[in-house]
A and B are shown apart, each in its own frame.
Chain A
């Protein structure tokens, strides 16, 4: 079980490291796409013109907020929480990561649906970010399950 007075258990370190690195990679992707949104500049895109189509769509600016800004904030939270776990292995930190990753999974699922059915364009960075968020969520769930948090047996 986790203990608020001790540092992260050795067998949790590797998973936490992976979550941390994936969060930073997500943050870098989000910043790259965000600067393109804000500067209206072109994006290197693995799916042809998909990123440009998404960038120019009003659906990629919910409430006037560019979608990658949401990603940047989410990944920043995840990175900070993973960092804090190296200082103090508090149950609330892993639950915070779980909450953030769960929101991330819902958000990327909604946006992938929007890309396919509303915008009708696929941005490769959004797909990579969606996969990244699902992996972070799965790794967090593994940790939560291992420590029998959330009623897991």
Chain B
């Protein structure tokens, strides 16, 4: 084996690269500052759609987008948690429609409009269930499936109050550091989750 000057040059580059990578890993491995905690009434302001026990000390808040595949993937886990711990925890759903999703904002307004007729969670399930074929034309069809008053549904969807609520949710999400959907806050602190089970474990600890 012949070590050429070219080989020495390459080994030098590798050495310099290793120094940079190790320095960067060292810098990144510093423990992150603990996540800031937000007050319950900040995370769940009046008018937020909630389910579960309002008197429970534990509360979970989700910021989500009906057109986001990851949000749909997390939905069964959230549903499972609500059915398992709904009596010991309050769950709040807040809207965070992402700009790159063309009908996410409309979908959020559809859920709120259905909520005004007492069928938020039914519409919530239908929206995730029909995510693949979501378009501007689907909402009237979903409203009909839930036997909603369509005129009222359409008016509410386009009302200033509903638009303001979605805007408030989104604004709050940005304020609380939502950088992707879904984002979960358990008892005021943002969760960093890798797997579905991480959320179940966190909630089961919180409700003890």
**Residues in chain A within 8 A of chain B (CB atoms):** 7-8, 13, 17, 20-21, 24, 27-28, 31-32, 35, 40-42, 49, 52-53, 55-59, 79, 82-83, 86-88, 118-121
User: Is there an interface contact between B73 and A58, defined as CB atoms closer than 8 Å?
Assistant: yes
Please state if B20 and A53 are interface contacts (CB–CB under 8 Å). Answer: no
- B28 CB → nearest A CB, Å: 6
* B39 at interface by CB-CB < 8 Å: no
Q: Which residues of A contact B1 (CB under 8 A)?
A: 87-88
Given contacts A53-B70, A55-B180, 4 further A-B contacts (CB under 8 A): A27-B17, A86-B7, A87-B2, A119-B70
CB neighbors of A among B34-71 (8 A):
67-70
Bound: A31/B25 CA distance, A: 9
Q: Which of B6, B67, B98, B180 contacts A13 (CB 8 A)?
A: B6
Name the one of A24, A31, A42, A58 contacting B179, with C-beta atoms under 8 angstroms: A42
Query: Which residue from B4, B69, B98 sits with its C-beta under 8 Å from A87?
Result: B4
Contacts of A40 in B (CB 8 A): 192-194
Interface residues of B (CB under 8 A from A): 1-4, 6-7, 9-11, 13-14, 17, 20-21, 24-25, 28, 32, 67-70, 73, 98, 100-101, 179-181, 192-194
Q: B32 contacts A86, CB within 8 Å?
A: no
Q: Smallest Cβ distance from B71 to chain A, in angstroms?
A: 10
Closest chain A residue to B4, Cβ basis: A7
28 contacts between A and B (CB under 8 A): A7-B2, A7-B4, A8-B6, A17-B10, A20-B13, A21-B13, A28-B21, A31-B21, A31-B25, A35-B28, A40-B192, A40-B193, A49-B98, A52-B179, A52-B180, A53-B98, A55-B180, A56-B193, A57-B73, A58-B70, A59-B69, A83-B10, A83-B11, A86-B9, A87-B1, A87-B2, A120-B68, A121-B100
The number of inter-chain residue pairs (CB within 8 angstroms) is 76
Residues of B within 8 A of A86 (CB): 4, 6-7, 9-10
List the 8 closest A-B pairs by CB distance, nearest first: A52-B180, A86-B6, A86-B7, A40-B192, A49-B180, A83-B10, A53-B180, A49-B179
Chain B residues with CB below 8 A from A121, complex form: 100
Our pick among B9, B20, B28, B180 for the contact of A28 (Cβ within 8 Å) is: B20
Pick from A8, A24, A119, A120: contact of B13, CB below 8 A.
Answer: A24
* B194 pairs with A24, CB closer than 8 A: no
> How close is B27's CB to chain A, nearest CB, in angstroms?
11
Most buried by A among B9, B13, B69, B101: B69
Q: Which residue of B lies closest to A58 (CB)?
A: B73
Q: Which A residues are CB-close (under 8 A) to B73?
A: 57-58
Chain A neighbourhood of B181, CB < 8 A: 53
Q: Are B7 and A28 in touch, CB under 8 angstroms?
A: no
A87 pairs with B13, CB closer than 8 A: no
Query: In this complex, what residue of A is CB-closest to B10?
Result: A83
* Chain B residues within 8 Å of A32, by CB: 24
Q: Which residue of B lies closest to A53 (CB)?
A: B180
Set of chain B residues within 8 Å of A88, measured between Cβ atoms: 1-2
Q: A52-B180, A58-B73 are in contact. Are A87 and B3 (CB under 8 A)?
A: yes
